[in-house]
Amino acid sequence: MDICDVIKNRKSCRAYTDQPIPLEIVRSLLEIAKWAPSGVNHQPSKIAILGPKTKEKLANSLLEQFDAGVLPNPDYDFCPDSWPEPYKIRRKACGQALYQSLGVALEDSEGKKRHKRRNYNFFGAPVGLIVFIDKGMPKGSWLDVGLFIQNFLIAAENLGLATCAQASFADYPDMIREILFLENVDIVCGISLGYRDLNHPLNSYKTERDALENFTQWYK
């Protein structure tokens, strides 16, 4: 597929089949993703690839935290309580499309909670990854990590695989560090990887993108 079509066709997948992904494929995707640019080639991205037992242990531990009502304590602020416009309206539209696909009303707090807890099980994907970075790295390094993640997502789409980059895994970084024996790092996000469940309603919608005129300024 043409790379431009791959970029436009990719979307976050929140429901997967149980078809396994060979580790050789995961390795090949990471070999591609590592060619992302980074300032002075310092390559700050670090990735934990979770085997089935570790993925299950991590998911169960995070779900225990979530079900117990433990407040998130992320290493960085990603999703504030209040957004200025136009970001607030975009966030609302995204949530509406998601919950409508599930038949969950916006006022159904329990239904929304049931969906949110699925984040911590990688939405049932057979492969889970955790992205992290050495603690204390500058903002520019975080930007470079984002470029690595994008490379990974696009490479996976090109192979017919589905992905979802999930900031939800940053909610409980202390638990992740404990289980994965990590020290002096910040947890950036998780990534779900697998084959898209085409029969699941969560994969029936796609979010829109703003018109070019609304986010560009052209100068002579």
Structural domains of the chain, with CATH: 3-77+120-204 (3.40.109.10)
In this predicted structure, the answer to whether residue 78 has a pLDDT above a threshold of 90 is no
185 pLDDT tier (thresholds 50, 70, 90): very high
Residue 27 burial (10 A CB sphere; 0-12, 13-18, 19+): exposed
Residue 35 CA to residue 127 CA, distance in Å, equals 22
Could you report the per-residue pLDDT of 199-215, keeping only the tens digit for each? 999 999 899 999 999 99
Residue 85 CA to residue 91 CA, distance in Å, equals 10
In this predicted structure, the answer to whether residue 198 has a pLDDT above a threshold of 80 is yes
β-partners of residue 154 are: none
- Residue 214 corresponds to which amino acid? N
Taking CA atoms, 170 is separated from 6, 102, 115, 151, 194, in Å, by: 27, 25, 17, 20, 21
Residue 103 CA to residue 219 CA, distance in Å, equals 46
Mean pLDDT of the chain: 95
Could you report the per-residue pLDDT of 81-101, keeping only the tens digit for each? 778 888 888 888 998 889 889
Contact 193, 127 (CB under 8 A): yes
Which pLDDT score, from 0 to 100, does residue 95 have? 87
Residue 201 CA to residue 36 CA, distance in Å, equals 33
158 pLDDT tier (thresholds 50, 70, 90): very high
Which pLDDT score, from 0 to 100, does residue 5 have? 96
How much of the chain exceeds pLDDT 70, in percent?
Answer: 100
Residue 148 burial (10 A CB sphere; 0-12, 13-18, 19+): buried
Name the CA dihedral angle for 168, 174, 177, 182, rounded to a multiple of 10 degrees: 130
pTM of the full predicted structure? 0.94
Could you report the per-residue pLDDT of 30-77, keeping only the tens digit for each? 999 999 999 999 999 999 999 999 999 999 999 999 999 999 999 998
Which pLDDT score, from 0 to 100, does residue 84 have? 87
Here the tokens at position 14 are 């929140």
Which pLDDT score, from 0 to 100, does residue 82 have? 78
Contact 190, 166 (CB under 8 A): yes
- Residue tagged 């990534």 (tokens): 191
